Amino acid sequence: MLAVLCSRTALSARSLERCVSSVVELPKLHNFGVQNEPVLGYRAGSQERDLLTAELQRTAAVTEEVPIVIGDETIKEGEPHFQVMPHDHHHKIAKFYYASEKTIQKAIQVSAEAQKRWDRTPLDERVQIWQKAADMMAGAHRQSLNAATVLGQSKSAIQAEIDSAAELVDFFRFNVFFLKENAKYQPISENASVTLNSMRFRGLDGFIAAISPFNFTAIGGNLAYTPALMGNGVVWKPSDTALLSNWRIFNIMREAGLPSGVVNFVPADGPTFGRTITKSPKLSGINFTGSVPTFNWLWNEVGKNLNLYSNYPRLIGECGGKNYHFVHPSADIQSVVNGTIRSAFEYCGQKCSACSRIYVPKSLHEPIKEGLLQERAKLKVGDPSDFSVFMGAVIDDKAFARITGYIKNAKGNPKNKIIGGGGFDGSKGYFVEPTIIETSDPHDKLMVEEIFGPVLTVYVYDDKDLMKTLALVGSSTKFALTGAVFSKDKKFLETALEELKMTAGNFYINDKSTGSVVGQQPFGGGRMSGTNDKAGGPNYVMRWTSPQSIKETFAPLTDIDYPYMRD
């Protein structure tokens, strides 16, 4: 279709002077502002608390059937699986099915076909679906998303609100905003009546596999729907233990008008899914968030199959962490104590950003220890639909075994001393007490490995060994996700900023290591914590496009030889 380019604001003033008719249609994107979705307070008597309470009752009263959805087809095959409440593991809230290899292949086919049609949908039309969905998530569907997250993933009301309401909505609104901002760039056309240069965003040829973790509902939404926003076809494998909340996102997107087949909802056994997608010649990208071993396995499979593919698949993986708080002798003790308790124990330490090791100078050891123990003792553990509860249960039996394994191990090691908590009980729910351990070994596995549970390890250093201890932060683990330093000494902070440069993708000064906000602290780590593509930042959407540069010439090429040849 012919387009009059002089109406495009993206072109330079010089190009506009000499407008021509071109076959290239640059995106028209309607304007809107973007702001973070407010986090509601859930105070007693508030409307949001009443609405959430009603929705929790509704969600808990049924075992919801969740099929596989490929295009317009719903599939229930094989033995059913169940999502249970981690804090009451006899209580089933969703019944679902694992897609077989054949079904996954069908999803690949459907999403790759859908991609071709969807990529032709004008950006403005796509954007309006995302806008509508974000409004639905922030409004009418807010509490159904939160209830599924509280019950299915055992998050307290406030932790669910931060995740399945605010962060999810923010991902949808900000990615649209970033897309719009990035689309403003158009290359230089020196004389647009002779040659017009432009660039357009294309989806990737093939399909994207989105593989999401259990711990953030919002991450599932971002992994599946940001590639879709950019014109891709997606096969989404949600986590078994975040199934219901993820299913609710999928339905909201359908209701908001996303054509079927663009995102296909394909719960599956992890390795079966991984093997099938990495064997497909159509694989154009993997959008993964989860643990290091899973991402390493996927990367290896892609490497082995490299000659099969028609593209180099983009591999985006945001993985685990061994996040630290480093305390300088000048630190504000209250900020250290409160920030560390929140970071280590909110959502049972199951945020990838959770603080799990803290370096404390001997000069502040006593007050910090006392503060941590006092605050720890106040934390109520239980059913997170009870608004007085600070933390629920850990996600499943595997997590329970892994975390309690570290605690048992610490009990048998003379270098480690459990100073708070250490108890656990998996009989009704997978409950683990918030646990604080002191170690005399900065290389102990408690200080080095990702535990992903409510276990904080404290290493006390001699004040005179400040710089030596600072160096240990980066040298003792392969992770580099989040980290925080606490100090009132500006000179030390400047030193730490440099010394710790590579130890964290998200670095905090006098603040806890958790709680990044979309558009404020784009998120992701380096080293073995991931590819650091910064979800919630402007570059993330660009990972899901294969931009095309177009040069269109309006003046005929009249000569083969060069003018100087005729001199």
Ligand X SMILES: N[C@@H](CCC=O)C(=O)O
Q: Measured between alpha carbons, how far is 247 from 211 in angstroms, rounded to an integer?
A: 14
* Minimum distance of ligand NAD from residue 315's CB (angstroms): 12
Residues within the interface to ligand X (CB under 6 A): 215-216, 351-353, 514-516, 523
163 binds ligand NAD (CB under 6 A): no
Q: Measured between alpha carbons, how far is 379 from 434 in angstroms, rounded to an integer?
A: 8
Q: Are strands 479-480 and 323-327 parallel, antiparallel or unpaired?
A: unpaired
Whether residue 146 contacts residue 156, with contact meaning beta carbons closer than 8 Å, is answered with no
Among 27, 270, 382, 538, binds ligand NAD (CB under 6 A): 270
Choice between 24 and 66, CB closer to ligand NAD: 66
Among 42, 225, 273, 507, binds ligand NAD (CB under 6 A): 273
* 314-333 binders of ligand NAD (CB under 6 A): 318-321
* Minimum distance of ligand NAD from residue 354's CB (angstroms): 8
* Minimum distance of ligand NAD from residue 319's CB (angstroms): 5
Residue 167 known to be catalytic: no
3-state secondary structure (DSSP) of residue 169: helix
Choice between 145 and 528, CB closer to ligand NAD: 528
Selecting among 319, 348, 352, 355, the annotated active-site residue is 352
Whether residue 549 contacts residue 197, with contact meaning beta carbons closer than 8 Å, is answered with yes
Residue 438 known to be catalytic: no
Q: State the binding partner of 516 from ligand NAD, ligand X, none, CB within 5 to 8 A by kind.
A: ligand X
Q: Measured between alpha carbons, how far is 300 from 277 in angstroms, rounded to an integer?
A: 13
Tokens 């000659």 sit on residue: 307
Q: Measured between alpha carbons, how far is 204 from 23 in angstroms, rounded to an integer?
A: 22
* 432-471 binders of ligand NAD (CB under 6 A): 450, 452
Residue at 434: amino acid letter: P
CA-based nearest residue to 82, from 254, 267, 209:
267
Whether residue 437 contacts residue 358, with contact meaning beta carbons closer than 8 Å, is answered with no
Q: State the binding partner of 514 from ligand X, ligand NAD, none, CB within 5 to 8 A by kind.
A: ligand X
Tokens 């899973």 sit on residue: 294
531 binds ligand NAD (CB under 6 A): no
Q: State the binding partner of 320 from ligand NAD, ligand X, none, CB within 5 to 8 A by kind.
A: ligand NAD
Selecting among 37, 55, 161, 318, the annotated active-site residue is 318
Q: State the binding partner of 214 from ligand X, ligand NAD, none, CB within 5 to 8 A by kind.
A: ligand NAD
Rg (CA), the chain: 26
CA geometry: angle 59, 64, 68, nearest 5 deg: 135
Question: Phi and psi for 455 in degrees, rounded to 5?
Answer: -130, 120
Q: Measured between alpha carbons, how far is 21 from 192 in angstroms, rounded to an integer?
A: 10
Single out the segment in contact with ligand NAD by CB under 6 A; choices: 23-31, 293-301, 440-448, 553-561.
293-301
| Interface characters, 230-249, with ligand NAD (x: CB under 6 A) | -------x-x----------
Q: State the binding partner of 515 from ligand NAD, ligand X, none, CB within 5 to 8 A by kind.
A: ligand X
142 binds ligand NAD (CB under 6 A): no
* Minimum distance of ligand NAD from residue 293's CB (angstroms): 7
The alpha carbon of 334 is separated from its chain's Cα centroid by a whole number of angstroms, namely 30
387 binds ligand NAD (CB under 6 A): no
3-class SS letters over 380-428? CECCCCCCCCCECCCCCHHHHHHHHHHHHHHHCCCCEEEEECCCEECCC
CA-based nearest residue to 77, from 221, 267, 224:
267
Q: What residue number has its CB nearest to ligand NAD?
A: 274
Binding site for ligand NAD (CB under 6 A): 211-216, 219, 237, 239, 270-271, 273-274, 289-291, 294, 297-298, 318-321, 352, 450, 452, 481, 523-525, 529-530
**Positions marked active-site:** 318, 352
